[in-house]
Amino acid sequence: MGTGSTLGLIQHKLASARSVTVLTGAGISADSGVPTFRGTGGLWRNFRAEDLATPEAFTRDPRLVWEWYNWRRELIATKRPNPAHEAVAQMEQRFERFWLITQNVDGLHRDAGSRKLSEIHGNIWMVRCTQCRHVTENRDVPIAILPLCSGCNGLLRPHIVWFGESLAEDDLETSATALQSSDLCLIIGTSGLVYPAASFGSIAKQAGAFVVEINLDATAQSGIVDAALQGRAKDIVPLLLQA
């Protein structure tokens, strides 16, 4: 963890902030037991996530990709939000303007009560038809392989933004608006390696926000932030609200 004075400064900034934007990544859910992609436990049958979470992998072998998602569904289904998710959910009530941007697909922010959020990489409990594009919720664990659309019998895929795919236009717009209008931006548990989310900290900073990073380690974006606290999200994030 950083020095006590850094924590005090961030608590003070938060206490007077009116518009807050939070960006979260896999690190906030690591404390709930969901492995990050780059940490230990991110491998499945020796495949890296980057080799499975792509449109090419799904075209080549949809069965393999769905088997991987079944493994992830099974894992995530047993996980609960931790104190960091809960503190972020409380921030929604605390500030005049608030928006949460998450790269996580596990749905734990919703489970914790967050409603003002963009799940910019999608949600593992949603599926999309590759033919008619219809999106539906599906919480089956395991999901039947191969899953088919009840409307048109097309092949269903996870409603997740894969490596090499673009984010939804409206999510990008909502995120940009939130970042540009915030006076404080918290970046929690993200490596800062996956774009465009990796650029969100600098967008907020250029717009004049005080940018804070909370991460177990230093990251690619640590150099540009105004304050950084190193440690576990579940220990640090709840402290931020104690002014």
The residues carrying an active-site annotation are 121
Among Zn ion, ligand NAD, none, the one that 123 touches (CB under a kind-dependent 5 to 8 A) is none
Interface pattern 17-36 for ligand NAD (x via CB under 6 A): --------xxx-xxx--x-x
- Is residue 112 a contact residue for ligand NAD (CB under 6 A)? no
Among Zn ion, ligand NAD, none, the one that 184 touches (CB under a kind-dependent 5 to 8 A) is none
Instruction: Out of 215, 225, 228, 229, point to the residue binding ligand NAD (CB under 6 A).
Output: 215
- Is residue 11 a contact residue for Zn ion (CB under 5 A)? no
Q: Yes or no: say if 231 and 9 are a contact pair by the CB < 8 Å rule.
A: no
Which amino acid is located at 96 in the chain? E
CA 78 to chain CA centroid, Å, is: 18
Measured CA distances, 43 to 30, 58, 77, 121, 166 (Å)? 14, 18, 18, 19, 24
- Is residue 138 a contact residue for Zn ion (CB under 5 A)? no
Render the burial of 177-214: b for 16+ CB within 10 Å, e for the rest: ebbebbbbbbbbbbbbeeeebbebbebbbeeebbbbbb
Among ligand NAD, Zn ion, none, the one that 189 touches (CB under a kind-dependent 5 to 8 A) is ligand NAD
- Comparing CB distances to ligand NAD, the nearer of 39 and 142 is 39
- Is residue 35 a contact residue for Zn ion (CB under 5 A)? no
Q: Which two tokens stand for residue 91?
A: 């921030």
- Comparing CB distances to ligand NAD, the nearer of 17 and 26 is 26
Interface pattern 174-213 for ligand NAD (x via CB under 6 A): ---------------xxx-xx-------------------
Measured CA distances, 174 to 17, 101, 117, 169, 236 (Å)? 20, 9, 9, 9, 27
- Is residue 243 a contact residue for Zn ion (CB under 5 A)? no
Instruction: Out of 17, 87, 149, 197, point to the residue binding Zn ion (CB under 5 A).
Output: 149
Which positions from 42 through 101 interact with ligand NAD, judged by CB under 6 A?
none
In total, the chain counts a number of residues equal to 243
Q: Please enumerate, as own/partner, the contacts of 136-143 that have beta carbons within 8 Å and a separation of 24 or more.
A: 139/77, 140/73, 141/70, 141/73, 141/74, 141/77, 142/70, 142/73, 142/74, 143/66, 143/69, 143/70, 143/73
Residues that bind Zn ion (CB under 5 A): 129, 131-132, 149, 151-152, 154
* Positions that interact with ligand NAD (CB under 6 A): 25-27, 29-31, 34, 36-39, 103-106, 121, 189-191, 193-194, 215-217, 219, 232-233
